[in-house]
Amino acid sequence: MGIRAGAVGAGLTVISLLAMGCDDRPRTIDSQEHPEPGPSLGSEVPSDIPPVPPVDENPPSPPPPDEGPGTVPDTGEPQGAGPWPVDAVLDYTQAFGAGTPQSVGLDEGLNLWLLDGNRIGVMRPGDPAPVWTAGVGQARQPFGRDSLAIDSTVICGGEAGRAYVGYRAPEMQRAEGISQRTYIPGPGEANYTPERYAEYQKGDLDAVRLQPDGTVALEEHVWRTTGASNAGKQIGIHNTNDFHYEEDRSILNCARVTRGPYRGDLYVTTNHGVTRIQGLTYNSHRHPGWYLITTNPDGTKAESLQCPPMYGLGIASNGDVLVANEQMAGVLVPSARLEEWDRENTWTGPTPWTFKGFNHALNDQASDDFWRAFEQTSSGHYYLGSAEFGVWAMTPKSRSTGNWSKLAGLPSNRILALKATDDGALYIGTNGAGLWRLEPDGLTLTHVQQVSGQRILQLVYEPTVTPSMLLVLTDLGLTVLRGP
């Protein structure tokens, strides 16, 4: 699902279609310009999508919950051991019948959430086994390209009793009379059709709630945002700065902030960028994009913003948001105000990038690095994991360049997950060689043989209990390590 670049003729760089793209609208530029990306208006790769029933522009809905800004106060006090077993290593699939889910998460109440296709499972502290509920939210219809979602992707806990479930949606095709693939006119506007407007309902993110009997019910398909143009429009996640642009259709990763002043905030990465969520309100989106420069037939230069799918997502101990798409990595500093998240002023402004660059030691700018994880250890060192090229350490030299070095000694270059823990270690989840631990010295690697499974799907860290919890999800199920 990546892109490759090749030279075709003088002055022209051609890039094959992104599986989930950003912006196919070249604009003529001055040959001396090298602007930084601003909020993009984007486009998607076309696909044949039969229409779904039209949606009501303003259907009735309950008032938003009285939950403040959506964050949980962080007292700085550990919770103690918490309600789960404190065994150093415990196989939850064997001990509790957790099965082999595709994604797992913990909420602030330490309820364990499991996602398996169209089923959501919850195991409350003290439960002998999960309770499963099928057909909730976007999964109420069978998955498929002509449905509400192609499939489910990830689950993350929120406040106690709440979780967020991500879904994947097909890319949009260009509509007649509309130059951008992701532009959707609203009712009363030129080129409006109910079928195209209904595309807003696909994919995105559900907020679900734990019920007294242990089952799960839909709380809300997330749609509330900070942008004025979006007011009252219950049309899922899309561009906050202009609701017409439906760029964030597939949720690829998620992470809950577990400490600090923004504890309780949720970040999700998508086919386009990274979105911040507080409670049921989101601001979308940011991405470390770059401009592809091409030459028009008349000799003028044109540019198009490139921002491929974003899988890499980490939260540093100081609250910085670490993101990596297929080609670039970036470090963002969030502000206290959700509405400032999407304000792209690059190195300045309320939510600046402190780093935004690519791994020149591995590939050129236009070639995919297939980043799947991005973490910062307690020593301050950055590490990125690639689905094809192993683990790389990165030390910024400037705001846009870094010193990159590949970690030696791993038996596989296929990395799916990384997680930094409070003891200074970095856990490395491979695709085919199991779980590994890089010691705080940054040199010593140890195979964590107590964890069954060779394909590490996800690593989730909960530092608010003592000993801490590291959830390790593999192809054989869920194992929890206490104390990293």
- Which residue do the tokens 């002055």 mark? 11
For residue 7, the model assigns a pLDDT of 31
Query: Which tokens hold the place of 201?
Result: 């309902």
Biggest CA-to-CA distance, the chain: 71
Residue 177's Cα: distance from chain center in Å? 32
For residue 73, the model assigns a pLDDT of 54
Calpha distance 343→168 (Å, rounded): 26
Q: Are the beta carbons of 198 and 169 closer than 8 angstroms?
A: no
Query: Which tokens hold the place of 209?
Result: 């709630």
Q: Are the beta carbons of 247 and 238 closer than 8 angstroms?
A: yes
- Cα distances from 429 to residues 71, 373, 471, 481, in angstroms, run 30, 10, 12, 14
Tell me which H or E stretch contains 459: strand 456-462
Q: Beta-strand (E) ranges in 224-381?
A: 224-225, 251-256, 266-270, 274-278, 281-286, 290-295, 301-306, 310-315, 321-325, 329-332, 353-357, 371-376
Tell me which H or E stretch contains 94: helix 92-96
- Which residue do the tokens 């929890």 mark? 480
For residue 225, the model assigns a pLDDT of 96
Query: Which tokens hold the place of 311?
Result: 């899988």
Q: Which of 58, 43, 91, 32 is nearest to 482 (CA)?
A: 91
Cα atoms found within 13 Å of the Cα of residue 353, Cβ hemisphere only:
26
> What are phi and psi for residue 474, nearest 5 degrees?
-125, 180
Query: Which tokens hold the place of 87?
Result: 């065994």
In 10 A of CB 328, how many CB atoms?
Answer: 24
Query: Which tokens hold the place of 63?
Result: 């008032």
Residue 386 sits in a domain whose CATH number is: 2.130.10.10
Residue 126's Cα: distance from chain center in Å? 31
String of DSSP letters for 132-193:
EEES-GGGGS--STTSS-SEEEEEEE-STTEEEEEEE-PPPPPPTT-SSTTB-PPTTSTT--
For residue 302, the model assigns a pLDDT of 85
Q: Name beta bridge partners: 209.
A: 162, 217
Q: Which residues, at least 6 apart from 418, have a Cβ–Cβ distance to it below 8 Å?
A: 314, 373, 374, 375, 383, 384, 385, 391, 426, 427, 428, 429, 459
- Tens of pLDDT along the chain (484 residues)? 333 233 323 333 333 333 333 544 444 333 333 333 333 333 333 333 344 444 444 444 444 443 433 445 555 555 799 999 999 999 999 999 999 999 999 999 999 999 999 999 999 999 999 999 999 999 999 999 999 999 999 999 999 999 999 999 998 888 888 988 999 999 999 999 999 999 999 999 999 999 999 999 999 999 999 999 999 999 999 999 999 999 999 999 999 999 999 999 999 999 999 999 999 999 999 999 888 888 888 889 888 888 899 999 999 999 999 999 999 999 999 999 999 999 988 899 999 999 999 999 999 999 999 999 999 999 999 999 999 999 999 999 999 999 999 999 999 999 999 999 999 999 999 999 999 999 999 999 999 999 999 999 999 999 999 999 999 999 999 999 999 9
Cα atoms found within 13 Å of the Cα of residue 293, Cβ hemisphere only:
14
- Cα distances from 432 to residues 93, 410, 455, in angstroms, run 20, 11, 5
Strands 224-225, 281-286: pairing is parallel
Query: Which tokens hold the place of 277?
Result: 């969520």
Domain that holds residue 390: 5-59+68-73+82-482
> What are phi and psi for residue 105, nearest 5 degrees?
-165, 160
> What are phi and psi for residue 199, nearest 5 degrees?
-60, -25
String of DSSP letters for 195-233:
HHHGGGGSSEEEEEEE-TTS-EEEEEES-EES-GGGTT-
Calpha distance 367→384 (Å, rounded): 16
Number of H helices, E strands in the chain: 2, 34
- Cα distances from 252 to residues 132, 204, 241, in angstroms, run 23, 10, 22
Q: Are the beta carbons of 75 and 465 closer than 8 angstroms?
A: no
For residue 8, the model assigns a pLDDT of 28
Q: Are the beta carbons of 136 and 124 closer than 8 angstroms?
A: no
Residue 338 DSSP label: G
For the chain, what is the domain count?
1
